[in-house]
Structure 1
Amino acid sequence: MQWYLKVLKNYVGFHGRASRTEFWMFFLINAIITFLLSLLDNFANTDNMISGIYGLLTLLPLIAVGVRRLHDIGKSGWWYLISLIPFIGTIILLILACFKSEDHENRFGPVPR
């Protein structure tokens, strides 16, 4: 849960680097919360209003941690725009998020610990 809160606190931080653990733990917890809120929406018959609001609230932190993750592997944050290509772009972005971090300080900052 600490990784999730760390990303939320740094929701507009597009500078620096994010480790694989930070990115994937946020992604996992976010997916679980979205799933649970979708279930709540179905039981409350609210037409995905609750999960939609949550999705909008976490959109900026998700983009920010994705950009920082790209920085960690030495790519520019502009690579995040590849996700605009339907289906294939998202797959490419998820594959890039799986790459190992650069072991040394790069132009985006020191190695995250």
Structure 2
Amino acid sequence: MTGITTAVANGITRTFSWRGRATRSEYWFYVLFCWAVVLGLAFTFSAFESGVAASIGGVSIMLVWFSLFSAMIRRLHDTGRSGAWALIVLLPFIGGFWLFLLMTEPAQPHPNRFGHLAHPVDATADRPSPK
């Protein structure tokens, strides 16, 4: 499992990269971080009445959402799906729920067309040790 600091560091450094894979823990820790940042920015910049401050806040929030979108694409890659699956959110009523379910699926346990598994699963972990 990826720790929160590693997940946030990976998310930030890979903001403009749609290649590769992101584990479930990496994705969800980064989602929590991004929501906290967006709420903080919205709260901070809503206090200003000038158009410049609102513009800076809006651009900052858009950058955070772009970063979150790239993490979502890498998470879809981890499940073996194309990033185009993110467009499923455009389906009325069920799209957002369906995308949420896709984000919670386990990773493919082997290398796929998007890269190697970030944290390989030990195939012998479920077997009892020999006596």
TM bin (shorter chain)? 0.7 to 0.9
1:45 shift after superposition: 4.4
Are 1:15 and 2:27 counterparts? no
Q: Deviation above 4 Å: which 4+ runs of structure 1? A: 45-48
RMSD: 2.1
Q: TM-score, normalised by structure 1?
A: 0.84
- Residue in 2 that maps onto 1:83: 89
Are 1:41 and 2:45 counterparts? yes
1:87 shift after superposition: 4.8
Structure in which a larger fraction of residues adopt helix: 1
Q: 1:105 to 1:93 in 2, by over 3 A?
A: same
Question: 5+ unaligned residues in a row in structure 2: which ranges?
Answer: 120-131
Q: 1:59 to 1:42 in 2, by over 3 A?
A: closer
What is the percentage of aligned positions where both structures have the same residue?
31
Aligned partners of 2:21 and 2:74 also within 8 Å:
yes
Q: TM-score, normalised by structure 2?
A: 0.74
Q: Which of the numbers 61, 66, 91 marks the counterpart of 1:60?
A: 66
Higher-Rg member (1/2) = 2
Aligned partners of 2:38 and 2:64 also within 8 Å:
no
1:25 shift after superposition: 1.0
**Secondary structure of the equivalent of 2:40?**
helix
Q: 1:16 to 1:55 in 2, by over 3 A?
A: same
